Amino acid sequence: MRFDILTIFPGMFESFMRETLIAKAIKKKRMAIYVHNIRRATNDKHHTVDDRPYGGGPGMILKVDPILKTLRMLPKKKKRRIILLSPQGTQFSQKVARRLAGYEQIILISGRYEGFDHRVTKYVDEELSIGPYVMSGGEIPAMVVVETVSRLIPGVIGHPEATRDETYSGSPDYVEYPQYTRPPVYRRQSVPKVLLSGNHKEIRAWRQFHSRRRKSGSRAA
Ligand code: SAM
């Protein structure tokens, strides 16, 4: 899987790509991330990527041309998806992540300021929002998408079964069972006895029971 990220703040991705599972997956060649500074696709002295909105109003708008020029410079894999990160987009979810994991190339366009010239939407396949709130930029939303999708790429997670029983894995209201590690008692809170029993059948049953979510949103008691 290849991710291409368009941004005006490429430095924000440096530690993201250098650390954690992402760095390991890149090293193992399970995925690749290329970060593109859209300022590079400008010709003027100040590398201008934004301008005032027609009709007036606060803030600046990202221009179409540097984004389109950057898109056109990218290598093109057969199965690719161009995504505009926007609070107005479809809500990102585990289901959307599973769908995106089937592509060979995902291009994520991060906005800043007051967002994009609306004509950018003509050149993308979909608009995605990471949640019903407004952030100052699309860089963190891009990282959210990369991290969530990359967990689903074969070979990225050391134990592939870890993603099988995870929260949201089966359905949008599935919640994983509670997990514990040593010590067995911490400040008078004990680990449920069954988890220390070594009886795998009972442990499976306990986990199954405690992984169901009630309609109210709380766990089974
Ligand atoms: N004026 C825009 C609006 O009202 O829809 C908001 C622009 S926001 C300040 C700047 C950029 O941050 C957006 O263009 C988008 O790329 C990114 N962004 C902000 N919130 C986001 C969200 N919830 N999901 C995805 N991207 C988001």
User: For the chain, what are the domain ranges?
Assistant: 2-150, 165-216
Distance 134 CA to ligand 1 centre (A): 5
Residue 147 pLDDT grade (very low, low, confident, very high; cuts 50, 70, 90): very high
pLDDT over threshold 60, residue 97: yes
Q: What are the angstrom distances between the C-alpha of 30 and each of 14, 21, 101, 121, 143?
A: 18, 11, 12, 30, 17
CATH domain 2-150 topology: Alpha/beta knot (3.40.1280)
Q: Cβ distance 60 to 111 under 8 Å?
A: no
Give dist(CA 20, CA 135) in Å, integer: 24
pLDDT over threshold 50, residue 178: yes
Residue 28 pLDDT grade (very low, low, confident, very high; cuts 50, 70, 90): very high
pLDDT of 165 reads 81
pTM, two decimal places:
0.95
In degrees and rounded to multiples of 5, residue 31 shows phi and psi of -155, 165
Q: Which of 128, 134, 146 to mutate to test the pocket of ligand 1 (most atoms within 8 A of CB)?
A: 134
What letter does residue 168 receive in the DSSP assignment?
T
Q: Which two tokens stand for residue 11?
A: 């430095």
In degrees and rounded to multiples of 5, residue 70 shows phi and psi of -65, -45
Name the strand (E) or helix (H) holding 65: helix 64-73
In degrees and rounded to multiples of 5, residue 6 shows phi and psi of -100, 130
Q: Is the CB of 90 under 6 A from ligand 1?
A: no
Residue 216 pLDDT grade (very low, low, confident, very high; cuts 50, 70, 90): low
Task: Give the contacts of 49 (CB within 8 A, at least 6 positions apart).
Answer: 8, 38, 39, 42, 62, 63, 66
pLDDT over threshold 60, residue 218: no
Top-tier CATH class for 165-216: mainly alpha
pLDDT over threshold 50, residue 221: no
Residue whose Cα lies nearest atom 1 of ligand 1: it is 114
Average pLDDT, the chain: 94
pLDDT of 214 reads 47
pLDDT of 169 reads 86
Q: Is the CB of 86 under 6 A from ligand 1?
A: yes
Low-confidence winner among 100-104, 123-127, 164-168, 204-208 (lowest mean pLDDT)? 164-168
Q: Is the CB of 85 under 6 A from ligand 1?
A: yes
